[in-house]
Amino acid sequence: MKRVLLVLALIVTVTIGVSALDYATFADAFQDFADEVANTLPATAGVAGLSWSPAYIGQFPHFGVGVSLGASTIPFDFIDPLVTQLGVTLPSEFEYLEKWGLPIPAAALDARLGGFLFPFDVGFKIGFVPEKLREKLGKVNLDYLLVGGDVRIPLLKDHGFVPALSISGGYTYMRGNVGIPDIMDSGNYVIDTLPAPYGGDTLTITAPELAFTWQTHTMVAKLQASKNLLIFTPHLGLGAAYGISEAGGGMSSEVTFTGGDLDDPAIVQALEDALAAADVDSDSILITSSANGYSFWVYGGTAINILLLKIDLTAMYNIVNGGYGGAVNVRIQF
């Protein structure tokens, strides 16, 4: 996680050492980046938690509890315009971004319980950043929440040469905020290219931290097959999701405006209209993008079964944008 945050920081350190900020370039770069993040979020929500190899765990009293870590990537083709517009040269140690893209991580505690009366199982997941992990991230400000669940119905039973096959439907809500301080110049950043009626006025951001924000409400459906083979349970599946998503970024710090009080809703609205910014207030200037749409991915992997301990490894490929992803789950399953 810390490595991912460092990558985000390195991508957007263009304004170090300058005091005047070309807002148009800044906004265009973040807008394009936000568009692609918003389109990637449904797939990320789909692989975050409950990516278990068995297509069906059985009826009650079968159940399992574990922890999952997953990620999906934004292809570099969508990151390159941001890098180019902001004039950033990536350090050599981050050249892997050109091949694999930028990872958007997600983590969750998850559980499954076999159903009653008729065959099905139900899963629940919740993700957050523990306080101890926040402390290890140093000055990076990170807020993250993931909540969701699904219901799986078996279509085929694992028997002989026939694999288990299930279909599932579920919902995931995921949001995150990242603030990265001390990577921009410690002085003030001034936006003095304001359009009418604020020509001559300035917005000033004092020693800002770079801010990233994202959220998605996602409906997820999966078709998955699996087969128990001694200590392994390989699986293969197809996922589809419809997400109502929003993502963006900008600067977070004390913001002052020579043309009026930023606590005045009318002035704030006028500035947001003039700058095409989603959020302008006394604490931040953020550019966000909303994207409602579908995502499709294929995935596969295997579980390693060591008595009650199950270790799942899953890889995925996003059919829509060509991004990659994966998930690891460790759980106790009865």
Across the chain, what does the average pLDDT equal? 80
The closest of 12, 21, 14 to 275, measured between CA atoms, is 21
pLDDT > 70: percent of the chain: 77
* Cα–Cα distance for residue pair 154/221, rounded to 1 Å: 14
Burial class (CB in 10 A: 0-12, 13-18, 19+), 47: buried
The closest of 12, 6, 111 to 63, measured between CA atoms, is 111
Residue 292: what pLDDT? 84
* Cα–Cα distance for residue pair 271/279, rounded to 1 Å: 9
CB 81 within 8 A of CB 32: yes
Label residue 29 left, alpha or beta by phi (over 0 means left) and psi (-120 to 50 means alpha). Answer: alpha
* Cα–Cα distance for residue pair 45/52, rounded to 1 Å: 14
- Amino acid at site 141: N
The closest of 108, 67, 36 to 309, measured between CA atoms, is 67
Find residue 123's DSSP bridge partners.
112, 150
Residue 107: what pLDDT? 81
Q: What would the pLDDT profile of 55-73 be if each residue is shown by its tens digit? A: 999 999 999 999 988 877 7
Least confidently predicted of 24-38, 117-131, 312-326: 24-38
CB 114 within 8 A of CB 59: yes
Residue 256: what pLDDT? 84
* Cα–Cα distance for residue pair 334/328, rounded to 1 Å: 19
* Cα–Cα distance for residue pair 159/161, rounded to 1 Å: 6
On the question of a cis peptide bond just before residue 208, with omega within 30 degrees of 0, the verdict is: no
Domain ranges of the chain: 2-333
Q: What would the pLDDT profile of 220-267 be if each residue is shown by its tens digit? A: 999 999 999 989 999 999 999 999 988 877 777 788 888 888 888 888
Q: How confident is the model at residue 92 (pLDDT cuts 50, 70, 90)?
A: low
The CATH code for residues 2-333 is 2.40.128
Q: How confident is the model at residue 195 (pLDDT cuts 50, 70, 90)?
A: low
Q: What would the pLDDT profile of 261-316 be if each residue is shown by its tens digit? A: 888 888 888 878 777 766 888 888 887 878 788 889 999 999 999 999 999 999 99
Average pLDDT over residues 12-31: 57
Q: How confident is the model at residue 120 (pLDDT cuts 50, 70, 90)?
A: very high
Average pLDDT over residues 116-132: 86
